[in-house]
Structure 1
Amino acid sequence: MITVEAIRIGNGRVSMVSGVYAFDLVSPKSPLWNHMRTMGAAISEHWLLLRDFNTLFNSSEKIGGSSSLPLDSGDFTQVMMDCALSDLGVARGWFSWSNDQINSKCIRRRLDPAMATTNWVLAFLESKVELLPKGNSDHCPLLVTVSDEGPVRPKLFKYFSIREKHSDFMSMISASWEVRVRGTAMYRFMTKLKRLRADPYIWNKEVFGHINESIVGVKHQLSSLHDSLYAEPSNDALMLEEQESTQRLQILLGHEEILWRQKSRQNWLKDGDFNTKFFYLSIVIRRRNDRIISLKDQNGNLLASEAYINRHMISIFENLLAQESDIDPLLANPFLPNHAQ
């Protein structure tokens, strides 16, 4: 294993990048696993590991040949857990090695995963891994595109249950829904739904406030109180204010955890500890898995550019909506107001 230090131009962010070439599938790899554990404990920066580990995670990483997994498969999984490494997946291709045979003799393996620590994954959210065509080697080269900034996309409406903990929330929802709207039943319903998207957003900014900003504000207030209590340690008013601010901070931290838990869709951790970093990493991994990085069109062409994917998806729906239909025009557009009612 060879490790180099990489410095990102622009922001100066330091990452450690390790290239691995392990022994074949049957040779013991204990020295490599122990070296990875030692490196993982010593590296405090972002860490990326690439290339040939010559073992497998599970049966989905192979076709053909023996049906059993390598004996060191479990050791590989354990060292990943010990070093807090995440598999970055792959945007294009899957099997990185083959024996170049055909029919029943063909064997394919995914022997070259890209893995990274939690810090690296969180620092480079928009990165992707691709397999390039093989050259003279029997392994496909890996291309890792490192990016910490993604395209700006419009935010979707999301309902967060944490808002229900505010005493005024349900009354705001009721008041928004009870506003009278004239028109057909469908038009009234859709108009009310649109209002329920806008009103909570305004209420959140004006009343509930952003949780992160509130936490920063309370922490700053507590720091000032600690300084004041150092000068006046017997001031009852300051001690009471410190107690109230501490309780307020605990409530806000609890709200923050609930928010991240809902975003991450992880509901199996027990209450008690603030697990916001775990939840945030869960969100990042889920969003990486949900991203459409490449797509095949109806002609079998691979679209890897986001601009090409967007245009292709738009054209599909434009063609669907442009097809002739026997639907009544009034039924096809139920959201127009009916002024006769």
Structure 2
Amino acid sequence: MHFVEAEWSRPCYGAPIFRFQQKLKSLKKNLKQWNKAIFGNIEAIVREAEADLLVWQAAAEQNSVSDSVYDTFIQKQLALENALKIKDDYWKQKSGSKWIHLSERNTAYYQALCKVHSSQNLITSLITDDGIVLDSQQGIKSYIVKYFENKFTEQPVIIHEE
């Protein structure tokens, strides 16, 4: 939350809707960088954990007497399970489905689910204050622009000094 507040408090100049758009754009960029720094590339982390596990598995099979090798093998196995859980959680969040399971993310169902999600983010019709239904994208766009221009234009302030 502190990260968002800091980003939102940065000065930006222009019309209110422009400032809002610029702050959102800047916040998105910085959140992506933060996500990359904190979580990294999930696919690369899983591949690295799998490779580490294979190396330590071979070492454990060759040196079955050493407890330290076996303990390291167990740690690598837990690290891989954790990386796979993070990857699975990522895909659950991306799909919006709470019950999608590991290796179901390339199914036709999952792809259809993602398509439905993106189509739900589209405004297909809009009822104006006058009760008129707009269903063309150009009409909706011009109405929204006009609405926010009216809402955020500067109104003169008159101060009566007595």
Work out whether 1:232 is the aligned partner of 2:63. Answer: yes
The structure number with the bigger radius of gyration is: 1
- Which residue matches 1:285? 112
Residue 188 of structure 1 deviates from its aligned partner by 6.0
Deviations along 1:50-97, one digit per CA (max 9) or x if unpaired, are: xxxxxxxxxxxxxxxxxxxxxxxxxxxxxxxxxxxxxxxxxxxxxxxx
Residue 328 of structure 1 deviates from its aligned partner by 6.0
Task: Provide the C-alpha distance between the structure 1 equivalents of 2:97 and 2:74, rounded to a whole number of angstroms.
Answer: 32
- Which residue matches 1:182? 11
Count matched residues.
132
Whose RCO is larger (CA < 8 A, sep 6+)? 2
- Which residue matches 1:250? 81
Residue 251 of structure 1 deviates from its aligned partner by 1.4
Asked if structure 1 preserves the Cα contact closer than 8 Å seen for 2:95 and 2:114, the reply is no
- Which residue matches 1:317? 138
Task: Provide the C-alpha distance between the structure 1 equivalents of 2:147 and 2:89, rounded to a whole number of angstroms.
Answer: 48
Work out whether 1:197 is the aligned partner of 2:28. Answer: yes
Gapped regions of structure 2 (runs ≥ 5): 120-135, 155-162
Residue 266 of structure 1 deviates from its aligned partner by 2.1
CA 1:191–1:320 in 2, change beyond 3 Å: closer, same or farther? closer
Task: Provide the C-alpha distance between the structure 2 equivalents of 1:200 and 1:326, rounded to a whole number of angstroms.
Answer: 30
CA 1:287–1:175 in 2, change beyond 3 Å: closer, same or farther? closer
Task: Provide the C-alpha distance between the structure 2 equivalents of 1:326 and 1:196, rounded to a whole number of angstroms.
Answer: 25
Residue 276 of structure 1 deviates from its aligned partner by 2.3
Asked if structure 2 preserves the Cα contact closer than 8 Å seen for 1:266 and 1:279, the reply is no
Asked if structure 2 preserves the Cα contact closer than 8 Å seen for 1:177 and 1:196, the reply is no
Deviations along 1:277-320, one digit per CA (max 9) or x if unpaired, are: 3344232122456788xxxxxxxxxxxxxxxxxxxxxx953895
Task: Provide the C-alpha distance between the structure 1 equivalents of 2:106 and 2:147, rounded to a whole number of angstroms.
Answer: 48
- Which residue matches 2:90? 259
Query: Larger strand proportion, structure 1 or 2?
Result: 1
Asked if structure 2 preserves the Cα contact closer than 8 Å seen for 1:263 and 1:283, the reply is no
- After TM superposition, list the pairs within 5 Å mapping 1:51-62 onto structure 2: none
Task: Provide the C-alpha distance between the structure 2 equivalents of 1:289 and 1:327, rounded to a whole number of angstroms.
Answer: 28
CA 1:287–1:207 in 2, change beyond 3 Å: closer, same or farther? closer
CA 1:320–1:192 in 2, change beyond 3 Å: closer, same or farther? closer
**Does the residue aligned with 1:246 lie in a helix, a strand or coil?**
helix
- After TM superposition, list the pairs within 5 Å mapping 1:4-83 onto structure 2: none
- Which residue matches 1:331? 152
Asked if structure 2 preserves the Cα contact closer than 8 Å seen for 1:181 and 1:188, the reply is no
Task: Provide the C-alpha distance between the structure 2 equivalents of 1:327 and 1:291, rounded to a whole number of angstroms.
Answer: 24
Asked if structure 1 preserves the Cα contact closer than 8 Å seen for 2:60 and 2:73, the reply is no
- After TM superposition, list the pairs within 5 Å mapping 1:142-221 onto structure 2: 173-179=1-7, 180-183=9-12, 186=16, 190-221=21-52
Asked if structure 1 preserves the Cα contact closer than 8 Å seen for 2:46 and 2:84, the reply is yes
- Letter of the aligned partner of 1:237 in structure 2? S
Gapped regions of structure 1 (runs ≥ 5): 1-172, 293-314, 334-341
Asked if structure 2 preserves the Cα contact closer than 8 Å seen for 1:222 and 1:245, the reply is yes
Q: Percent identity?
A: 17
Task: Provide the C-alpha distance between the structure 2 equivalents of 1:188 and 1:228, rounded to a whole number of angstroms.
Answer: 58
Q: TM-score, normalised by structure 2?
A: 0.60
Residue 249 of structure 1 deviates from its aligned partner by 1.3
- Letter of the aligned partner of 1:181 in structure 2? R
**Does the residue aligned with 1:276 lie in a helix, a strand or coil?**
coil
